[in-house]
Structures are given as C-alpha cells and as structure tokens.
Structure 1
C-alpha cells in the first residue's frame, strides 16, 4: 500500500461520521470498574491477613523452638566417679 492510498483511506475514515456509542456504555463501565476495585481491595486484605498469620506463626515457632539457643552437647560421656 502506497503512501497516497493510505492517506486517501485515512481521509475517508475521518470524513465519515463517528460510530454511535451504546447508551448504557457508561453504566456498564462504572459497574465493571466498581467490581474490579472491590476484588482488588478484597485480594489486598486477604494478602495482608495471610502476611499477619505467617508472622504470628513464625513468632510462635521461634518462641517455642528457640533456634538461637545452642543445643546441649551429647557427644562427651558424663563424668562420674572422680
């Protein structure tokens, strides 16, 4: 397609009247947008709740298991009879 034919096609398209927009388009867009925002809010709250639950579980595990304490040595025999 040459440049002249492309320009002619674009001119014809611009001279035509714009297509009609459905009257309920705005209402449908608002409804979909509200639904999307509601889903995002719900997902964000669920992720924060999951993060909070994981943090609590980790803290409870750390307090009960105490991984920072060195376990007692069991390799040397007990000294008895000295």
Structure 2
C-alpha cells in the first residue's frame, strides 16, 4: 500500500463515523481542569510567598551582619606614642 492509498483509507475511516465521546466525560474534564487550575494557582502563590520570605530574611541578615564592612584587624596592636 503506497502513501496515497493509505491517506485515502485513513480519510475514509475518519469521515465514515463521527467520534463518540462518553456522556460523563465533559463533567469529569471540567472537574479535573478546575482542580488543576486551583493547584497551579496555589503553587504559584506559595512560590511568591517563599520568594518574599527569602528576600526579607536576606535583607534582615544583611542589615544586621553588614557583610560589606571589613572586620577590624586583630593581628597587630594599634600604633600609639611615636
């Protein structure tokens, strides 16, 4: 069977009978889709909350620890009385 014959056979099969969908499929799909949407929204909100909490924690740590300031040297005594 060459390509043209296969295409015509497939077209005949597809045009012969309309696809049949189970009657309760629509309600099931709506229920599952709504559940997936709620989960996705909840996950997105939790991620934003986690990002906000991490940012606040970093800012508080940076303000209290001040990592950009060089610590005073402890190895040499201060130079006094020349």
Normalised TM-score (structure 1): 0.82
CA-based RMSD of the aligned residues comes to 1.9
- For residues 76 and 49 of structure 1, do their structure 2 counterparts lie closer, same or farther at Cα, with a shift above 3 Å needed? same
Normalised TM-score (structure 2): 0.82
> How many residues matched?
82
Following superposition, the deviation at residue 81 of structure 1 comes to 5.8
Deviates most, 40-49 or 8-17:
8-17
Q: How does 1:39-78 map to 2 (within 5 A)?
A: 39-78=39-78
Q: How does 1:7-18 map to 2 (within 5 A)?
A: 7-18=7-18
**Unaligned stretches of 5+ in structure 2?**
none
